[in-house]
């Protein structure tokens, strides 16, 4: 996996022989919230994207933060081919071996990850029941409905800067974007402050981040606003769309304690952090916290539409008895489940969480070195192979420099590196980095070199003496 992929065989690109109209390739496409990229991608392989103009671009966002083990992984290709031929899609109530096996494997590694006592004592019920869906938004919608059914309540709490999907319940609980222009969101949605170490106004006397006071203050406000029907909190271990905001140590446990105090469930959304991305198989292992409901997506399918909802036997049984309904066309489809099982087995077999930790240390060290050389880098954060580089115009005031961030991202792309800029938050812009875990040491150094060249040649980067 350390060797760069071979150059593409253009003679095999039967689906792209006809180049889209260069006059306006978007003429028949509906805008969905983000500008279309100027490059037309005709092929992907390993860590790389290839354009219609013969550019080779290193993909440091893993597609949409999804291709955990790279594009076109041969074992994934074989799995897709086999199941497209023999076992692709079934009536939703029908069971198939890939669905059964994936559920068994996920629950097994969760039990192993938390060790003895998982699912026993201290109110911990474990994570023993799975449902497979298509997208992260769909899995979060399901989790919210499950929490409402279990508790008999309907108020949901999210974090400022969060992103959970575009369905009504999931979008109502997110605060990074998507709330304006559509009328009322789902009723009963509340927001806690974003746990942003870099920008929070909650500080100890020595200037360090006082997240405990911030969290307690947020809950005090929610208690006043609540109608007395608090059902669940939904949160990410790292708020990617909010700017790669990494929750501080102890935060998730404190959140669970607040939930228990109010009779609420804790939902953790690991769309981007799961399966080794942050150095642990699951980010909840890093925090040592078992949520009531865990949702997975993106990384589980390595780019295919696959998500999961995992909860305890107790919650699953009670929901069934109450008539829980989340019936969709592609629930528990065999083909994507087979891919998810293959992804999970590859991650375990090749010990990719350890690889993420090792390469992540080098990545973050390289980014901090760039921070020491360029004044526009206000903060570097993240964990493992998931990093954020916040771009500012002034390190003292922390004033955002969104235009500089966009120019840097565009310049990196021109130089052969794709790293996305998150500029939807009201106060900041962050370059988000999440390369495939199969990246080689040489590719890591190459990517950092491209970033430095982009900083050197982009106006507003503020080189330091």
Residue 65: CATH number of its domain: 3.90.1150.10
Q: Where among 301, 320, 349 does a domain terminate?
A: 349
The pLDDT of residue 182: 86
The rounded distance, in Å, linking the Cα atoms of 67 and 46 is 9
- pLDDT category at 185 given cuts 50, 70, 90 is confident
Catalytic residue among 153, 155, 256, 272: 272
Catalytic residue among 256, 342, 411, 432: 432
Which of 53-62, 264-273, 398-407, 423-432 comes out lowest in average pLDDT? 423-432
Same domain, 28 and 172: no
318 pLDDT higher than 70:
yes
Strand partners, 381: 388
Specify if 219 maps to a domain. Answer: yes
| Distance of alpha carbon 100 from the chain centroid | 25
Contact between 51 and 40 (Cβ < 8 Å):
yes
The pTM assigned to this predicted structure is: 0.92
9 pLDDT higher than 50:
no
| Three-state secondary-structure class, residue 341 | helix
Other CB atoms within 10 Å distance of the CB of residue 260:
13
Catalytic residue among 256, 298, 342, 411: 298
The pLDDT of residue 29: 85
The dihedral formed by the CA atoms of 458, 462, 463 and 465, expressed in degrees to the nearest 10: 160
263 pLDDT higher than 90:
yes
412 pLDDT higher than 60:
yes
Specify if 5 maps to a domain. Answer: no
370 pLDDT higher than 80:
yes
Told to judge if 163 belongs to the known catalytic residues of this protein, a careful annotator would answer yes
- Would you say the C-alpha torsion 206, 366, 392, 465 has a positive or negative sign? positive
Report in angstroms the alpha-carbon separations of 120 from 116, 125, 126. Answer: 9, 6, 7
> Percent of the chain at pLDDT above 90?
78
Catalytic residue among 128, 138, 214, 236: 236
Strand partners, 156: 189, 232
- pLDDT category at 180 given cuts 50, 70, 90 is confident
pLDDT single digits (tens) 81-130: 999 999 999 999 999 999 999 999 999 999 998 865 455 433 457 899 99
Same domain, 156 and 294: yes
Residue 75's Cβ-count burial label (10 Å; 0-12, 13-18, 19+) is middle
Same domain, 343 and 378: no
pLDDT single digits (tens) 327-358: 999 999 999 999 999 999 999 999 999 999 99
pLDDT single digits (tens) 298-313: 999 999 999 999 999 9
Same domain, 146 and 41: no
Same domain, 264 and 382: no
Same domain, 58 and 194: no
- Chain mean pLDDT for the chain: 91
Told to judge if 432 belongs to the known catalytic residues of this protein, a careful annotator would answer yes
Same domain, 360 and 400: yes
Catalytic residue among 150, 163, 211, 219: 163
As a whole number, mean pLDDT of residues 145-163 equals: 95
Tokens of 135: 């997208």
What is the per-residue DSSP string for 366-391? HHHHHHHHBTTEEEEEESSS-EEEEE
- pLDDT category at 16 given cuts 50, 70, 90 is very low
As a whole number, mean pLDDT of residues 32-38 equals: 80
Task: Classify strands 420-422 and 430-433 as parallel, antiparallel or unpaired.
Answer: antiparallel
- pLDDT category at 424 given cuts 50, 70, 90 is low
Told to judge if 362 belongs to the known catalytic residues of this protein, a careful annotator would answer no
Q: Where among 349, 369, 392 does a domain terminate?
A: 349
> In which domain, by residue range, is 148 found?
87-349
Same domain, 16 and 143: no
Same domain, 207 and 314: yes
- pLDDT category at 23 given cuts 50, 70, 90 is confident
Same domain, 57 and 107: no
Same domain, 225 and 173: yes
Specify if 4 maps to a domain. Answer: no
Number of structural domains found in the chain: 2
| Distance of alpha carbon 155 from the chain centroid | 24
Name the nearest CA neighbour of 284 among 236, 243, 347, 245. Answer: 236
The pLDDT of residue 281: 97
Specify if 45 maps to a domain. Answer: yes
Specify if 252 maps to a domain. Answer: yes
As a whole number, mean pLDDT of residues 245-250 equals: 96
The rounded distance, in Å, linking the Cα atoms of 265 and 453 is 47
Same domain, 289 and 365: no
Told to judge if 368 belongs to the known catalytic residues of this protein, a careful annotator would answer no
Which of 123-137, 266-280, 345-359, 444-458 comes out lowest in average pLDDT? 123-137
The pLDDT of residue 395: 96
């Amino acid at each position: 996996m350390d060797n760069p992929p071979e150059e593409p065989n253009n003679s095999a690109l039967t689906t792209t022989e006809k180049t889209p109209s260069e006059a306006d390739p978007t003429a028949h496409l509906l805008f969905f919230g983000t500008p279309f990229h100027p490059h037309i991608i005709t092929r992907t392989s390993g860590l790389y994207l290839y354009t219609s103009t013969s550019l080779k671009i290193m993909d440091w966002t893993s597609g949409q933060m999804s291709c955990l083990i790279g594009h076109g992984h041969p074992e994934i290709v074989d799995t897709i081919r086999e199941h497209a031929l023999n076992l692709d899609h079934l009536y939703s109530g029908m069971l198939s071996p890939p669905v059964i096996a994936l559920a068994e494997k996920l629950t097994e590694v969760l039990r192993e990850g938390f060790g003895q006592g998982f699912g026993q004592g201290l109110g911990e019920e474990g994570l023993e029941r799975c449902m497979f869906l298509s997208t992260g938004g769909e899995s979060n919608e399901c989790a919210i409905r499950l929490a409402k059914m279990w508790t008999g309540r309907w108020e949901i709490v999210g974090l400022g800067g969060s992103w959970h999907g575009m369905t009504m319940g999931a979008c109502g609980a997110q605060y990074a974007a998507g709330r304006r222009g559509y009328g009322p969101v789902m009723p009963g949605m509340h927001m806690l402050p974003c746990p942003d170490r870099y920008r929070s106004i909650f500080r100890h006397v020595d200037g360090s981040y006082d997240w405990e006071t911030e969290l307690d203050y947020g809950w005090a406000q929610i208690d006043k606003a609540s109608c007395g029907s608090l059902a669940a909190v939904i949160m990410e271990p790292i708020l990617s769309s909010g700017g790669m905001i990494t929750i501080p140590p102890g935060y998730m446990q404190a959140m669970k304690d607040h939930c228990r105090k109010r009779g609420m469930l804790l939902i953790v959304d690991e769309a981007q952090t799961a399966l080794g991305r942050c150095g642990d198989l699951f980010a909840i292992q890093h925090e040592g916290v078992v949520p009531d409901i865990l949702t997975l997506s993106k990384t589980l399918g390595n780019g295919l539409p696959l998500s999961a909802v995992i909860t305890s036997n107790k919650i699953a049984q009670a929901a069934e008895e109450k008539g829980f309904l989340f019936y969709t066309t592609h629930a528990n489809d065999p083909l994507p489940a087979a891919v998810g099982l293959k992804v999970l087995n590859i991650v375990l077999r090749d010990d990719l969480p350890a690889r993420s930790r090792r390469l992540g240390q080098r990545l973050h060290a390289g980014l901090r070195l760039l921070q020491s050389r360029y004044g526009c880098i206000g903060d570097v954060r993240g964990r493992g192979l998931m990093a954020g580089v916040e771009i500012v115009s002034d390190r003292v005031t922390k004033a955002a420099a969104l235009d500089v961030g966009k120019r840097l991202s565009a310049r990196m792309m021109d130089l052969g590196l794709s790293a996305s800029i998150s500029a939807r938050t009201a106060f900041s812009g962050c370059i988000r980095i999440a390369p495939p875990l199969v990246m080689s040491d040489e590719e890591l150094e190459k990517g950092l070199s491209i970033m430095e060249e982009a900083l050197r040649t982009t106006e507003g980067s503020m080189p330091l003496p």
